[in-house]
Chains A and B, each alone.
Chain A
Amino acid sequence: DTGVSQNPRHKITKRGQNVTFRCDPISEHNRLYWYRQTLGQGPEFLTYFQNEAQLEKSRLLSDRFSAERPKGSFSTLEIQRTEQGDSAMYLCASSSFNEKLFFGSGTQLSVL
């Protein structure tokens, strides 16, 4: 399967803990995106990379969130000191130049 892969599928954590999610994009795609989706809402843009460069980060994104894409391949999204409001589905997507997004299955985060 050469689609976008995300791990883990589900993560339950206690408030205050740090969590890290991984995304493996489609191999030939140079752009990688992170979105957050809560129930009944559309995906909310968090950040995106072109190759290894992080080109934009949402102004709404707390400093507790950080993303990396070393070597322009897989990406990680880390949330430090999680809060209950961080509970959501975290979606990763990738694309080639100016093309549609291909989404992974997402990581469902529950903060207790």
Chain B
Amino acid sequence: ELKVEQNPLFLSMQEEKNYTIYCNYSTTSDRLYWYRQDPGKSLESLFVLLSNGAVKQEGRLMASLDTKARLSTLHITAAVHDLSATYFCAVDTATSGTYKYIFGTGTRLKVLA
């Protein structure tokens, strides 16, 4: 069964610092998704990574995918307070013939002023 793990689970960082969140998954998949969730809110899509080596960037966030290593990273550059949220990665099961999305445990990010 597909398992998705993220680390760290909690991340407290200073503004203007850089950091990386890691997402590992257990079975073959070519597609990985990153979402953001603010407290009490629903999930908002950030990135869709559809192939090995895919890299997407939006503002201070950059996501990449290595399907051979079954690893995705979300890199934060020069963090600002507005990035404080919980970040989830998700993997779909299309390669196994079904189309459900399995989410990681989430990384709760707090950017300190």
Give me the interface of A with B, judged by CB distance under 8 Å: 31, 33, 35, 40-45, 48, 50, 55-56, 91, 93, 98-106
**In the assembly, what is the distance between CA of A56 and CA of B96, in Å?**
13
Interface-facing stretch out of B42-50, B65-73, B75-83: B42-50
Q: Are B48 and A100 in contact (CB under 8 A)?
A: yes
Q: Are B98 and A104 in contact (CB under 8 A)?
A: no
Q: Are B106 and A98 in contact (CB under 8 A)?
A: no
**In the assembly, what is the distance between CA of A48 and CA of B33, in Å?**
18
Knowing A41-B106, A42-B106, A103-B42 are in contact, say whether A33-B33 is a contact too (CB < 8 A): no
Report which of B42, B99, B105 forms a contact with A55, defined as CB distance below 8 A. Answer: B99
**In the assembly, what is the distance between CA of A55 and CA of B98, in Å?**
8
B: contact size bracket: 20 to 34
List B contacts of A31 (CB < 8 A).
99
Tell me the smallest distance from the CB of B61 to a CB of chain A, in Å.
16
Knowing A91-B42, A98-B99 are in contact, say whether A43-B105 is a contact too (CB < 8 A): no
Instruction: Count chain A CB atoms within 10 A of each CB in B44, B94, B99, B106 and give the residue with the most.
Output: B99
8 A-B contact pairs sorted by A residue (CB < 8 Å): A43-B103, A45-B100, A48-B99, A50-B99, A56-B100, A98-B31, A101-B101, A103-B44
Knowing A42-B105, A42-B106, A43-B88 are in contact, say whether A105-B41 is a contact too (CB < 8 A): yes
